[in-house]
């Protein structure tokens, strides 16, 4: 019980990262042959990836606002789950939705800005996922922190991908845009200094 009381935030991070997969697995068992499942898997994986990416971006501001430094411990976990779900989203789009028809995929990239922006966001996340270990952190030294600031580009690009999709309702992507905007604004040097002064006893 003591371990759980001290690490509940880690358990919650893993539960949040794995629950979309469990949900998809149940859907697959119920309706694996349906075209609807392929599209549902693509959309749900993309949504899960965006939520987890925003959550990882929120860890540091939350630690300042609520004087809770331990929340930073789950930032990497959330980021890696985000990358996994975004990779699954891309795979579902390329393999299940388009049958690995690269001519069709390339045409989609050329004609729809949402696709090219989404691919760019994924490419930005690749070096962050590959260098997420402590070993890479030691090898890169100060350069590791600079490299991982690319998340400040990946998150807005992911939201822009969502916004550019042809949808009748844009309320949800606008909410993500506002959240990411606030989280990035909180990281501005003057704002960060003010927050740290406020939470320091």
CA distance 140 to 129: 14
Band (pLDDT 50/70/90 cuts) for residue 130 is very high
Query: Is 150 or 26 the better-scoring residue by pLDDT?
Result: 150
Q: Which of 32-41, 70-79, 139-148 has the highest mean pLDDT?
A: 70-79
Which pLDDT value is given to residue 29? 78
pLDDT in tens, 152-169: 999 999 999 999 986 777
Which pLDDT value is given to residue 125? 96
CA distance 34 to 36: 5
Using the predicted structure, report yes or no on whether residue 191 has a pLDDT greater than 80.
Answer: no
**Matching residue, tokens 């729809």:** 112
- Angle, CA of 129, 135 and 136, to the nearest 5°: 45
With contact defined as beta carbons under 8 Å apart, do 161 and 117 qualify? yes
CA distance 9 to 59: 11
Alpha-carbon distances, residue 53 vs 63, 75, 122, 179, 196 (angstroms): 16, 9, 11, 11, 24
Q: What is the mean pLDDT of residues 175-200?
A: 73
Q: Which of 182, 191, 145 is nearest to 57 (CA)?
A: 182
Own/partner contacts of 166-170, CB < 8 Å, gap of 24 or more, are: 166/114
Using the predicted structure, report yes or no on whether residue 24 has a pLDDT greater than 90.
Answer: no
Q: Which of 185, 104, 114 is nearest to 152 (CA)?
A: 185
SS3 content of the chain, % helix, strand, coil (to 5): 85, 0, 15
């Amino acid at each position: 019980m003591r371990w759980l009381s001290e690490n509940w935030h880690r358990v919650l991070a893993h539960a949040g990262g794995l629950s979309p997969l469990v949900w998809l697995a149940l859907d697959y068992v119920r309706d694996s042959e349906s075209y609807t499942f392929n599209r549902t898997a693509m959309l749900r994986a993309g949504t899960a990836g965006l939520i987890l990416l925003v959550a990882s971006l929120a860890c540091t501001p939350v630690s300042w606002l609520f004087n809770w430094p331990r929340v930073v411990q789950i930032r990497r976990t959330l980021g890696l789950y985000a990358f996994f779900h975004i990779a699954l989203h891309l795979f579902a789009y390329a393999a299940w939705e388009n049958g690995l028809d690269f001519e069709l995929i390339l045409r989609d990239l050329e004609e729809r800005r949402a696709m090219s922006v989404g691919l760019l966001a994924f490419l930005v996340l690749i070096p962050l996922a590959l260098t997420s270990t402590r070993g890479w952190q030691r090898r890169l030294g100060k350069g590791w922190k600079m490299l991982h600031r690319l998340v400040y580009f990946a998150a807005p690009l992911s939201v822009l991908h969502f916004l550019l999709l042809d949808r009748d309702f844009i309320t949800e992507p606008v909410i993500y845009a506002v959240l990411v905007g606030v989280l990035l604004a909180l990281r501005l040097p003057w704002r960060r200094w003010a927050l740290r002064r406020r939470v320091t006893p």
